[in-house]
Every structure is written in C-alpha cells, then in structure tokens.
Amino acid sequence: MIIKTAADAKNDQSFHKALNELLLGLADDDFILSYRGSEWLGLAPHIEEDVAFSSISQDLMGHAVLYYQLLSELGAGSIDALAHERPPEERRNAILLELVNGSGTYLEEPRFDWAFTVVRHYFYDMYKKIKLESLIHSSYQPLSHAAVKIKMEQHYHLMHWGIWFKQLTMCGGEARSRMIAAVSRVWNELEGLLTLGPLEGQMVQYGLIESCTILKNRFSKLAAKSLEEVQLAHGNSYGMISGNGREGEHTADMEKALVTLSEVYRMDEKAVW
C-alpha cells in the first residue's frame, strides 16, 4: 500500500499517528545534532574542518526542516513551532544526540571533546544511512522522496566522519585512548538511537520503515567491520543508561539547549523570517 499525499495519510488515524511519531524521531535527531555541531563553529581543530563541519551542520538542519515540513503538511503545526515551541517531553530525539560536547559552553570556557564528537557523528551517520536506505522504500511516498534527497548529502557526511574516526584511532597515544573512551561512552547510549519508539509495531505494519531488529542487525555488521579495521573490539550490546528519548525522556542538557535555540524565536513568535 502506497500513500501518496498527506490528505490520504490523515484518513487513517492509526497510520497517521505512527507516521507522525516516525517523522518526529527523524526530525528531532537531526535538529539537535545540528545544534551540537554548530557549537563547534570557530573551535574545530583547523580552519578546513571548521568550514566542513559548519556545512554538515547546515545540512543536518536542512534535513530536519524537510521532516518538519512533512509533519506540518500532516497537521502537526508550523515548522517553526515544531522546532522551537515543543517542551522536552514532546521531543523524540535519542538522548545520545543531545548530550553536551564537553565541559563549559560556547561562550564560556568551552572545553569540548573532539573524540566524542567524531565518534557520535560517525556512528550516527552510519545508522542514518541504514535508516535512509529503508525509508527510500517507505509506504508514505513524500517520506520516500525526502529520503532520496537526504541520502545524497548524507553519503559525504559518513565519509567525512569515517576519515576522522580511522585517523584518530590508528595514530596511537592520547588520540587512540580518547577515541576508545569515546566509543565506550557512545555505546552506553546507542540503544536509544537504534530504537524507533513505542509505535514501532505500527510503523512496520504499515510499511513505513523496517523493524528495529533488521536495522540494528545491519548496523551491527557495519559497526563491527569499522571497529575491526582500527583494531578495536566492541560487542553488540548497546546501552540506554540515561533514558529513552523516543518516549520523551530527556536530560538537563536538552532543556538548556532548547532555551538557547529558541531564545531569538521567543522574542517575537509571530515574526516572519
């Protein structure tokens, strides 16, 4: 069954609800990670990376906007309202993606962890690739079309972070030690990224996306291969120690991020940008 328009999707309440939850997870993931990436502006290891990382963060925000646009067409509200007005408990992003880059803030003594940033982005993009490949075959045609567009850019994001991951992990010394620690930290929260949330059954039933089991198996194979290439051994047991963001559970990091993100918007919520 192929659903071609938002109007058709709204005719089936169960389908509509499952689609909304899926889109919120997709949009919120890219939205918050784009923000975390933007905090590296002017702080990246060198000028070329500063430019590249800024471009990647802009792409991520663009991907989030595409998903929010689909939600808006389904009656979920305006793009700006979806991005800025929802409280943490209405957000569906994985907690891994909202965690701060390190100690300090962008304006006050930022001591960000580049190893954590590289590892988080690399494995996020690895899983995003797998999800996009599944979404291309989604029963909701507008989502399928969006996935095709996003995948063209995302290919280069994964390549970018893969280079950083391999170089830092294989160069030994402090760099390797910090990368190993970062992998362990990411693994402790990775399950929250790999889940689709409480409506997974309906998402799969309606052909919106494949099951977590299928997607996770594909991810585990890719992740294992990548870790083997840099002589790291890590199991396929992933944690979710800080809660499940797909169910609206979030950290203080998220609350602070939303205050900063919405500061200008809330000065005049009726302004047209």
Q: Residue 86 belongs to a domain with what CATH number?
A: 1.20.1260.10
Please tell me the predicted confidence (pLDDT) of residue 120. Answer: 99
Whether 3 is in a domain gets the answer no
Whether 261 is in a domain gets the answer yes
Please tell me the predicted confidence (pLDDT) of residue 154. Answer: 96
DSSP 103: E
Whether 254 is in a domain gets the answer yes
Please tell me the predicted confidence (pLDDT) of residue 106. Answer: 81
Mean pLDDT of 44-53: 96
Mean pLDDT of 160-187: 96
Whether 1 is in a domain gets the answer no
Q: What's the total number of domains in the chain?
A: 1
Q: Is 99 left (phi over 0), alpha (psi -120 to 50) or beta?
A: beta
Please tell me the predicted confidence (pLDDT) of residue 265. Answer: 74
Whether 2 is in a domain gets the answer no
Q: Say if residue 153's pLDDT is above 80.
A: yes
In what helix (H) or strand (E) does residue 102 lie, and over which residues does it extend? strand 102-103
Mean pLDDT of 171-193: 96
Domain residues for the domain of 92 are 8-267
Tell me the pTM. Answer: 0.95
Mean pLDDT of 73-79: 97
Q: Say if residue 266's pLDDT is above 80.
A: no
Burial of 220 per CB tally in 10 Å (0-12, 13-18, 19+): middle
Mean pLDDT of 246-266: 91
Please tell me the predicted confidence (pLDDT) of residue 156. Answer: 97
Q: How far apart are CA 140 and CA 202, in angstroms?
A: 13
Q: Say if residue 273's pLDDT is above 70.
A: no
Q: Of 115, 244, 133, 110, which is closest to residue 181 (Cα–Cα)?
A: 115
The pLDDT confidence band at residue 172, using thresholds 50, 70 and 90, is confident
Whether 272 is in a domain gets the answer no
Q: Say if residue 202's pLDDT is above 80.
A: yes
Angle at 244 between CA 114 and CA 227, to 5 degrees: 45
Average pLDDT, the chain: 95
Q: Say if residue 97's pLDDT is above 80.
A: yes
Cross-strand pairs, 112: 102
Mean pLDDT of 246-250: 98
Q: How far apart are CA 91 and CA 87, in angstroms?
A: 7
